[in-house]
A and B are shown apart, each in its own frame.
Chain A
Amino acid sequence: MSIDPDLERQKKKWDLSEQSFESLLHWLDSDRDRAGKRYEDIRCRLIKIFSSRGCVEPDYLADETINRVARRVEEIAKTYEGDPALYFYGVANKIHLEQLKKQKPLVRLPVVPAANDFEQEYVCLERCIGYLPVDTRDLVLQYYDHEQHAKVVKRQLLAERLGIGLNALRIRAHRARLALRKCIMSCLENKQASEMKYSN
């Protein structure tokens, strides 16, 4: 009888005892809130790394990395010195090698979305941009104006108006864009959930 791979994956994802998880958090930081943030940071970075190595399921591999560390965390914490994130990175490398040995590297055909394939995103963007504070929205609209000639001058003027340097402006604009993207992603997820609900 075949086993549903999704169930197996879910099981693996949550294959952490409460105690292991708590020990893991404590290892990352004695303050629980900071530890939670650190956990999320490490997970996101692992996903980026697996993703950049062309792994098919970067989220799954990041969770597997965390699970492996968590299972041995009490032992590791006693002797390991240095930034815990580097330990995760070492385990991630090991898991990646195992993946490469286990199977032929899966070559996914990259798909660059069509130029007009963003309608759902656009609908969510229209909604989300309305939730941004006026200043933030103006910053996004002006900073990311892509007209080549106007771009440099606009950014310079914008930085002067805000009394910050160009690099600070670049970071500020990016953070605003990130907030917008998070809202769009959440809007898209809600749409999908709603779609599934109504199709059932």
Chain B
Amino acid sequence: MEHDVDDKKLIASIILLERFIRDIYPSRESSAIQPLQWSILRYLARMPADRCEVRFIAQFLGLTRAPVTRAVAKLESRDLVYQRGNADDARTKTIFLTHAGQTALEYDPVIDAVARIRTLPVDTQQQFINSVRSIALETGGKNSDYSKEDTAR
């Protein structure tokens, strides 16, 4: 019973899933917001201000500080975030979304993906959710891809 699903079908499913994800991040140009940068924007939108420092973001994403620092600098250069020194500790800075950063989140590629999934029957949406939850729990979700130079900028 363990191998009653054809490997070929599983491989094909992963290829389609990969294509689906690639499709929602259509632009690989350096001017486009990259996946790590989107993760940081989402984090800043959701977390309380006292957690919006590079060290906490890095811990949350399972990364070292270096790629997060670079990504924040890139977002700051595009006026999507700004940093303010902490009164209690001059070595640390709190990161905030700018108005442009908040507006950018309205165009988060994940929202587009959700819209596509929403077109499926409700049962299929629930099956999708359950499958993704099982995959994440059973196989782990460590994301080393973010450490790649092309997404860290």
Question: Do the two chains belong together in a single complex?
Answer: no
Please give the residue numbers on chain A whose beta carbons come within 8 Å of chain B beta carbons, in ascending order: none
